[in-house]
Structure 1
Amino acid sequence: MTTASDHPVYPDLDGAAVLITGGGTGIGAALTEGFVRQGAKVAFIDIAEKPSRELAARLADIGRHAPLFIHADLTDVGAIRRSVPQAEAAHGAARVLVNNAAFDDRHELLDMSEDYWDANQAINLRPVAFTAKAVAPGMIAAGGGTIVNFTSTSYMLNIGAMPAYTAAKAGIVGLTKGLAGRLGPDGIRVNAIAPGWVMTERQKRLWVTEEGLAQMLDRQCIKRTIEPDDMIGPCLFLASSASAMVTAQVLIADGGMM
């Protein structure tokens, strides 16, 4: 397993302004550290204040630039509109946007209300669109950039326990392709990463069972658990010039389960 300090160095990410949503915990925290170690100027938005401040403090002296934590609720589009200028004031226009924030709550279709559906999309899909919209003018003015959206393999697996979430994750793929078509002429690439079952602390606390984990590993080609740090490499690749002609694509990072 690789760690945040084990990845190749991408010179074009050194000093680049990077904005990460949901960057304070789980996969997002790993991504924040990964970009900080590249020498990027990282700002991350998260609603979880205590762990985010602890992360920012821990990473303050690791890279060339201490990360900037912006406390905001991404379900509030107004908060997104306020957060992006805050990041730009500190680091300049974003060269990289990573739309990572998500909430994979389990729920029963027959009990699902209209309010629950709307709230779920407001967490898992809407911020992807409106954060991209908020950073796009700065990227266009700067001559280009890259957006990496995190979807999930869950929508491909016919999982019945989270229909609103899997609909949102499928929607991210469509949005990724639409954004790539719209923003490509402006020099902006847009791609998605579809992780498998990543063993974040939240997953282990709420959903992981011995039986479920064994079934997952049996389906994977690579016979070990997927860790948050495993998402750093794919994200750095798509964010960097190493993927200069890659856009409108979905990179599946699931140990070969699909």
Structure 2
Amino acid sequence: MTDTFARYPSLRDRVVLITGGASGIGAEHVTQFARQGARVAFLDIADAAGEALVETLAGEGLSAPLFLRCDLTDIIALRAAIAEVSARLGTIAVLINNAANDQRHGWEEVTPAYWDERMATNLRHQFFAIQAVAPGMQAAGGGSIVNFGSISWHMLQGGMPAYTTAKAAVEGLTKGMARDLGPSGIRVNCIIPGWIMTRRQIELWLTPDAEANLLRNQCLKRKLVPADVSRMALWLAADDSAMCTGQLWVVDAGRM
């Protein structure tokens, strides 16, 4: 972490759980929180990438994060993984509901089974992760939950109706749970990223025409990178944002 960005003393030794943390934006979350001195755990199905990230961060001299393999669509396995994190690291104070998959699909081809699978991949686990961590946060007197939405449906993006529906629902989940958990001192916020230049996005969809159109529509003329949203997640997890809850935090360089 360079000296130009903030350090958050309240994050030191705080137990942080990140879903989908082995690659992309999730891996950046793991890295940023580890560099703040947090006690980080992350869940993913990508064994090789998860293990490599742990090794990389340990090589920086940081406390190695705890990586647990978990299929988030399996709620029993998700609950067990969260219980293991709590047993090994302590009460989870921060939940980053990051995991998602924006697989493209035509509306004509969607089956009920595919629809249910997309909801399980992009929405359902966020609620059940909240349900699993909330009792510990309540007993501790508070916590911070950061859900991840998407700019896609705000931009009227087509070509993936199950994904955009799930991501729209994440915002409703955030608002409702902020109300329900607020009396316990638990904050629930949602980050809405713009088009973030992960390796997957670059390899699959960043054509010269798409890049030109993106920069034309953004107020700030720089492509967004994972650290841009991870730094917002740091702030929402830290005590600096102690009175912020139920809000949608758009990090899109002024595109929406």
Q: Structure 2 counterpart of 1:149, which letter?
A: N
Query: Tell me, what secondary structure is at the counterpart of 2:17?
Result: strand
Question: Once the two structures are aligned, what percentage of the paired residues are identical?
Answer: 50
TM-score after normalising by structure 2: 0.97
Within 5 Å, give how 1:109-120 maps onto structure 2: 109-120=107-118
Aligned position for 1:21: 19
Gaps of 5+ in 1: none
Give me the whole-angstrom Cα distance separating, in 2, the residues matched to 1:143 and 1:64: 28
Gaps of 5+ in 2: none
After superposition, what is the alpha-carbon deviation per residue over 1:172-216, rounded to whole angstroms, capped at 9, x for unaligned? 000001110010000100000000000101111112111011101
**1:181 aligns with one of 179, 182, 194:** 179
Query: Tell me, what secondary structure is at the counterpart of 2:153?
Result: helix
After superposition, what is the alpha-carbon deviation per residue over 1:194-251, rounded to whole angstroms, capped at 9, x for unaligned? 0000010111111211101110110001111111111121101111111111000000
The question of whether the paired residues in 2 share the 8 Å contact of 1:38 and 1:63 is answered with no
Aligned position for 1:227: 225
Give me the whole-angstrom Cα distance separating, in 1, the residues matched to 2:61 and 2:247: 30
Aligned position for 2:204: 206
Query: Tell me, what secondary structure is at the counterpart of 1:153?
Result: coil
TM-score after normalising by structure 1: 0.97
Taking only aligned residues, the RMSD between alpha carbons, in angstroms, comes to 1.2
Instruction: Identify if the C-alpha distance between structure 1 residues 232 and 5 changes in structure 2 by more than 3 Å, giving closer, same or farther.
Output: farther
Q: Structure 1 counterpart of 2:221, which letter?
A: K
The number of residue pairs the alignment matches comes to: 256
Runs of 4+ in 1 over 3 A off after TM superposition: 3-6, 61-64
Give me the whole-angstrom Cα distance separating, in 1, the residues matched to 2:14 and 2:240: 15
Give me the whole-angstrom Cα distance separating, in 1, the residues matched to 2:24 and 2:243: 29
**1:160 aligns with one of 155, 158, 163:** 158
Give me the whole-angstrom Cα distance separating, in 2, the residues matched to 1:169 and 1:6: 32
